Amino acid sequence: MRILLCGGAGYIGAHAYVVLVERGHDVVVADNFSNSSPGVLARLRQITGRPVPFQPLDLRDRDAVTGFFAHQAFDAVVHFAALKSVGESCERPLDYFHNNIGGTLNLLHGMREAGVERLVFSSSATVYGDPDHVPVREDARLQVTNPYGRTKLVMEELIGDLCRSDAGFHAANLRYFNPVGAHASGLIGEDPTGIPNNLMPYICQVAVGRRDRLSVFGGDWPTVDGTGVRDYIHVMDLARAHADALDFLVRERRSLTVNVGTGQGVSVLQLVEAFAQAAARRIPYQVVARRPGDVAEVYADPSLAQRTLGWRAELGVEAMCRDAWRWQSQNPQGYPVA
């Protein structure tokens, strides 16, 4: 298939690019580099051994999006492009609505005009908010606790309406849990700008000496050791789910919303310990107050993905930590600045 990756220069998109090329697809990356580095393209070329087709594109620019689709033929789109910081979304909700929802509308419009009828969408476990029970199934109550989460929920709904209105248009909403880790080459990985919001990149920066110590947000949660429990998923397993979802859309000609997680809950301190083992170094930390908006425990019931996509996670916490550390230690400052 000829596949467009919107936001394909970002963390998850770059890993999905590698998997899709390995599966024999013809893949084009489109991005505005608002949260990524052009340096990733050279790394993708190094990994795949071939030039990386790239299109500068800002999804907020509707004319640019429709113009682009008018001159290209695609069999499917994988849509990663979004702003994704929960805290920032509370400070600048309109930017999130404009970029995430507005950008998605422009993309859907461009796809419709060009007759592209397959979409894989990056959704998030954030649509479950604070779940009533774990493991969380896809039919759990949906609730959002911040503007970022609202954009994901709204986008799922918009895409659902479009699918219902057009029997030929099919989408796979993938609800990612907590993606971590990196490609085994250590050439691509997560490279957040500024202070990392998320646990694994923070641990990586402590390990490599860029930050003194980790703050563990709360030691009094009702969990195994008092720290927050999440479902960390290796980014290469997650990348593979996109390829499997595209196969599903071709094979089954129907839409799907599915969790992409391991089904295993891991606490903050368990992850810190696993990372310390993998990197063979101490990770200094201190337990501080809970982070506003956090929840105790979220992990997936991934059985629908197994039944529908034939997908299941293969890599465990050890591989996640080993690969995250390889990326960080080989690239202490992230991608080289061009």
Q: Could you list the residues that contact ligand NAD (CB under 6 A)? A: 7, 9-13, 31-36, 57-60, 80-82, 84, 99, 103, 122, 124, 176, 178-179
Please select the residue that binds ligand UFG; options are 34, 55, 66, 197, rule is CB under 6 A. Answer: 197
- Nearest approach, Cβ of residue 126 and ligand UFG (Å): 3
Distance CA 265, CA 260 (A): 13
- 65 touches 109 (CB < 8 A): yes
335 is catalytic: no
Total residues contacting ligand UFG (rule CB under 6 A)?
22
Distance CA 125, CA 145 (A): 12
Cα-based distances in Å from 141 to 144, 264, 289, 307: 10, 20, 28, 21
Q: What is the per-residue DSSP string for 1-28?
A: -EEEEETTTSHHHHHHHHHHHHTT-EEE
Which one of 11, 17, 128, 148 is the catalytic residue? 148
- Determine, following the binding rule CB under 6 A, whether residue 256 of this chain makes contact with ligand UFG: no
Q: Which does residue 216 bind out of ligand UFG, ligand NAD, none, counting CB within 5 to 8 angstroms by kind?
A: ligand UFG
Q: Which does residue 99 bind out of ligand NAD, ligand UFG, none, counting CB within 5 to 8 angstroms by kind?
A: ligand NAD
Q: What is the per-residue DSSP string for 118-146?
A: EEEEEEEGGGG-S-SSSSBPTTSPP--SS
Give the gyration radius of the chain's Cα atoms.
19
- Determine, following the binding rule CB under 6 A, whether residue 198 of this chain makes contact with ligand UFG: yes
Phi, psi for 196 (deg, rounded to 5): -60, 140
- Nearest approach, Cβ of residue 67 and ligand UFG (Å): 32
- Determine, following the binding rule CB under 6 A, whether residue 25 of this chain makes contact with ligand UFG: no
Q: Given the DSSP bridges, would you call strands 76-79 and 178-180 parallel, antiparallel or unpaired? A: unpaired
Q: Which does residue 315 bind out of ligand NAD, ligand UFG, none, counting CB within 5 to 8 angstroms by kind?
A: none
By beta-carbon proximity to ligand UFG, the closer residue of 37 and 122 is: 122
By beta-carbon proximity to ligand NAD, the closer residue of 9 and 116 is: 9
Angle of the 11-22 helix axis to the 39-48 helix axis, nearest 10: 20
Residue with structure tokens 């992230």? Answer: 334
Question: Residue with the closest Cβ to ligand UFG?
Answer: 228
Q: Could you give the string, one character per residue 270-309, with x where binding to ligand UFG holds by CB under 6 A and - elsewhere?
A: ---------------------x--x---------------
- Nearest approach, Cβ of residue 167 and ligand NAD (Å): 27
Please provide the size of the chain in residues: 338
What are the strands, taking DSSP E only, across the chain?
2-6, 26-31, 54-56, 76-79, 118-124, 170-176, 178-180, 214-217, 229-230, 232-234, 256-260, 266-267, 285-288
- Nearest approach, Cβ of residue 30 and ligand UFG (Å): 22
Q: Which does residue 31 bind out of ligand NAD, ligand UFG, none, counting CB within 5 to 8 angstroms by kind?
A: ligand NAD
Quick check: helix, strand or coil at residue 268? Answer: helix
By beta-carbon proximity to ligand UFG, the closer residue of 215 and 277 is: 215
Question: Residue with the closest Cβ to ligand NAD?
Answer: 10
- 148 touches 197 (CB < 8 A): no
**Residues that bind ligand UFG in the complex, under the rule CB under 6 A:** 84, 86, 124-126, 148, 176-178, 197-199, 202, 214-217, 228, 230, 268, 291, 294
By annotation, the residues acting in catalysis are: 148
